[in-house]
């Protein structure tokens, strides 16, 4: 019996559920349906490769599939999600903020708005993607037991996050609730660049949950255990990043809370994979390794 890693189950469920929804919405021959079925096939191939060749390179290929899949599917959702869930849930997320906090946390930042602070928040927000990609490569190329734990948790939270995008698609308050803000955001050239590029890098459905918050919190606390120097380097930028999601009006308060909750689940999964992999070694029979 093949024992899958936790993220392969969760991310696989996201792929299968979305593929089935597309199948019923637009049929098997639609390009967006075919993308998901092709991704599922590649996922199966990546898992099978380790079963066939239980070597270091095969494990790195297995990790690499998810790195490529999460980036490719994120942008692809711009076309896929409207086919299965054409509505937007921004009004509901704003209402949840009001019910939970009494007013939107985004409005709390308005008295603090200044060009310098906006520029600082833009830098913190923009730095997330290069830092994420660097971390993905570092863990993929490092110790395999640590990599299995890291990816086990990280892609669990991404699978849940992407599923959230399909169930509650929302463009974000900077567009949907723009008329609620009395103070405009002005900064300097980083702010201008982020403002110009952000619409190109979003899939227009990626507010709930905040994966900027989820992934950064997960990486920060995983680093605390496994790479303490990187934890110290990332601590202040991560706090600024979390604040920037609200200050820059890209996420609702409930998005941020959901992001931290998903990160906590991912860390629990990572700890379980690490514990069960205590005897993990390359060269053991593959079925025995995955059953560990």
Residues 80-89 pLDDT 10s = 999 999 999 9
Q: Which residue has the tokens 């993990």?
A: 280
Rounded Cα gap, residues 5 and 154, in angstroms: 12
Within-domain flag for 66: no
Indicate the burial class of 279 (C-beta count within 10 angstroms; 0-12, 13-18, 19 or more). exposed
| Helical ranges in the chain per DSSP H | 6-26, 31-52, 56-84, 90-101, 105-108, 115-126, 128-140, 144-167, 173-176, 189-201, 211-226, 228-247, 253-276, 286-291
User: Residue 200 pLDDT more than 90?
Assistant: no
What is the average pLDDT score of the chain?
Answer: 92
Rounded Cα gap, residues 134 and 67, in angstroms: 11
Within-domain flag for 261: yes
Rounded Cα gap, residues 126 and 129, in angstroms: 7
User: Residue 256 pLDDT more than 50?
Assistant: yes
Closest of 254, 218, 225, 248 to residue 94, by C-alpha:
254
- Opening angle at CA 120, ends 119 and 124, nearest 5: 115
Within-domain flag for 228: yes
Query: What average pLDDT score do residues 184-191 get?
Result: 95
**Which pLDDT score is estimated for 97?**
97
Confidence of residue 284 (pLDDT cuts 50, 70, 90): very low
Q: How many CB atoms lie within 10 A of CB 288?
A: 13
Within-domain flag for 39: no
pLDDT in tens, 201-216: 899 999 999 999 999 9
Report the sign of the C-alpha dihedral through residues 34, 266, 194, 208, in that order: positive
Indicate the burial class of 102 (C-beta count within 10 angstroms; 0-12, 13-18, 19 or more). exposed
Question: Over pLDDT 90: what percentage of the chain?
Answer: 82
Question: Over pLDDT 70: what percentage of the chain?
Answer: 95
Query: What average pLDDT score do residues 111-128 get?
Result: 97
User: Residue 285 pLDDT more than 80?
Assistant: no
Rounded Cα gap, residues 70 and 8, in angstroms: 12
Within-domain flag for 92: yes
Within-domain flag for 233: yes
**Which pLDDT score is estimated for 282?**
54
Q: 53-57, 83-87, 266-270: lowest mean pLDDT where?
A: 53-57
- Name the DSSP letter for residue 109: T
Give every CB contact of residue 91 below 8 A, 6+ residues apart in sequence.
176
Within-domain flag for 158: yes
Closest of 217, 70, 223, 56 to residue 149, by C-alpha:
223
Domain span including residue 223: 87-291
Count of domains for the chain: 1
Residue 1, token pair as written in the block: 């019996």
| Residues 182 and 110 sit within 8 Å (Cβ to Cβ) | yes
Rounded Cα gap, residues 259 and 161, in angstroms: 8
| Residues 35 and 68 sit within 8 Å (Cβ to Cβ) | no
User: Residue 279 pLDDT more than 70?
Assistant: no
| Residues 77 and 203 sit within 8 Å (Cβ to Cβ) | yes
């Amino acid at each position: 019996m093949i024992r899958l890693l936790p993220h392969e189950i969760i991310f696989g469920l996201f792929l299968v559920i979305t593929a089935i929804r597309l199948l019923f919405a637009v049929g098997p021959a639609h390009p967006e349906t075919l993308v998901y079925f092709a991704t599922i096939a590649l996922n199966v191939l990546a898992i099978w490769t380790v079963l066939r060749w239980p070597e270091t390179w095969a494990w790195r290929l297995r990790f690499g599939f998810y790195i490529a899949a999460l980036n490719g599917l994120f942008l692809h959702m711009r076309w896929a999600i409207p086919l299965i869930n054409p509505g937007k849930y921004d009004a509901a997320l704003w209402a949840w903020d009001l019910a939970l906090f009494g007013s939107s946390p985004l409005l709390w930042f308005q008295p603090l708005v200044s060009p310098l602070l906006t520029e600082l928040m833009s830098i913190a927000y923009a730095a997330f993607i290069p830092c994420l990609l660097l971390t993905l490569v570092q863990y993929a190329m490092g110790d395999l037991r640590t990599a299995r734990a890291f990816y086990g948790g990280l892609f669990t939270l991404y699978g849940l996050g992407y599923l959230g995008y399909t169930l509650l698609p929302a463009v974000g308050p900077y567009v949907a609730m723009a008329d609620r803000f009395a103070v405009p955001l002005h900064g300097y050239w980083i702010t201008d660049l982020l403002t110009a590029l952000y619409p190109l890098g979003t899939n227009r459905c990626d507010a709930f949950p905040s994966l900027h918050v989820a992934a950064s919190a997960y990486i920060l606390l995983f680093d605390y255990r496994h790479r303490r120097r990187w934890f110290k380097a990332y601590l202040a930028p991560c706090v600024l990043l979390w604040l920037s999601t609200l200050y820059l009006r890209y996420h609702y308060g409930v998005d941020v809370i959901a992001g931290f909750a998903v990160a906590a689940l991912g860390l629990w999964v990572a700890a379980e994979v690490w514990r069960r992999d205590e005897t993990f070694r390359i060269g053991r029979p593959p079925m025995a390794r995955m059953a560990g």
